[in-house]
Structure 1
Amino acid sequence: MKQIFTYTLALALVLSLVASEASAQQFSKRKQYNSVGVSLNAMNYFGDITPKPSIPSLRFGATRPNIGVNFTHRFTPRISARAALAYGRITGDDSKAADKNDSEAKYRYNRNMSFRNDLAELSVVGIFDLIPNRNTYIKRPDLVPYVFAGVAAYTGNPKGLVGANNVGLSEGSYVALQALKTEGVSYNKGGIALPFGGGVRYKVNKSFDIGLEVGFRKTFNDYLDDVSTNYVASRNDLGSDAAKYFGWDITRNEPGTWNRDNQSGYQRGKSNEDDWYVTTGITVNYILAPKVKSPKFR
Structure 2
Amino acid sequence: MKKFLTLTLSLVLALVLVSSQASAQQFSKRKQYNTVGVSLNAMNYFGDITPKPSIASFRFAATRPNIGLTFMHRFAPRISVRGSLSYGRITGDDAKAADDTDPEARYRFNRNMNFRNDIVEGAVVGVFDLIENRNNYLKRPDFVPYVFAGVAAFHHNPKGLDQNGNYIALQPLGTEGQRATGDQYGLWQFSLPFGGGVRYKLNKSFDLGLEIGWRKTFTDYLDDVSTNYVANRNDLTPGAAQYFGYDITKGIDGTYSTANQAGGQRGKSNEDDWYIVTGLSVNYILAPRIKSPKFR
- Does 2:57 align with 1:57? yes
Match of 2:289 in 1: 291
Contact 2:50 2:59 in 1 (8 A): yes
Q: 1:226 aligns with which of 221, 224, 233?
A: 224
Number of corresponding residues: 287
Equivalent AA in structure 2 for residue 180 of structure 1: L
Match of 1:268 in 2: 266
Q: Distance in 2 between matches of 1:265 and 1:275?
A: 22
Higher mean Cα deviation, 92-101 or 10-19?
10-19
Offset at residue 162 of structure 1 (A)? 1.4
Match of 1:88 in 2: 88
- Does 2:197 align with 1:174? no
Structure 2 SS opposite 1:183: coil
Structure 2 unaligned residues grouped into runs of 5+: 179-183
Matches within 5 A, 1:193-232: 193-232=191-230
Contact 1:160 1:175 in 2 (8 A): yes
Offset at residue 53 of structure 1 (A)? 1.4
Q: Distance in 1 between matches of 2:234 and 2:107?
A: 24
- Does 2:114 align with 1:140? no
* 4+ aligned runs moved over 6 Å, structure 1: none
TM-score (norm 2): 0.93
Higher mean Cα deviation, 47-56 or 12-21?
12-21
Equivalent AA in structure 1 for residue 233 of structure 2: R
Structure 2 SS opposite 1:201: strand
Structure 2 SS opposite 1:108: helix
Going from structure 1 to structure 2, the CA distance change for 1:246 and 1:201 (only over 3 Å counts) comes to closer
TM-score (norm 1): 0.92
Offset at residue 290 of structure 1 (A)? 0.4
Offset at residue 237 of structure 1 (A)? 1.4
Offset at residue 241 of structure 1 (A)? 3.6
Equivalent AA in structure 2 for residue 50 of structure 1: T
Structure 1 unaligned residues grouped into runs of 5+: 164-170
Offset at residue 250 of structure 1 (A)? 3.0
Q: Distance in 1 between matches of 2:162 and 2:103?
A: 27
Equivalent AA in structure 2 for residue 157 of structure 1: N
Q: Distance in 2 between matches of 1:271 and 1:283?
A: 33
Equivalent AA in structure 1 for residue 50 of structure 2: T
Contact 1:247 1:255 in 2 (8 A): no
Offset at residue 246 of structure 1 (A)? 4.6
Equivalent AA in structure 2 for residue 99 of structure 1: D
Offset at residue 2 of structure 1 (A)? 3.1
Q: 2:247 aligns with which of 242, 245, 250?
A: 250
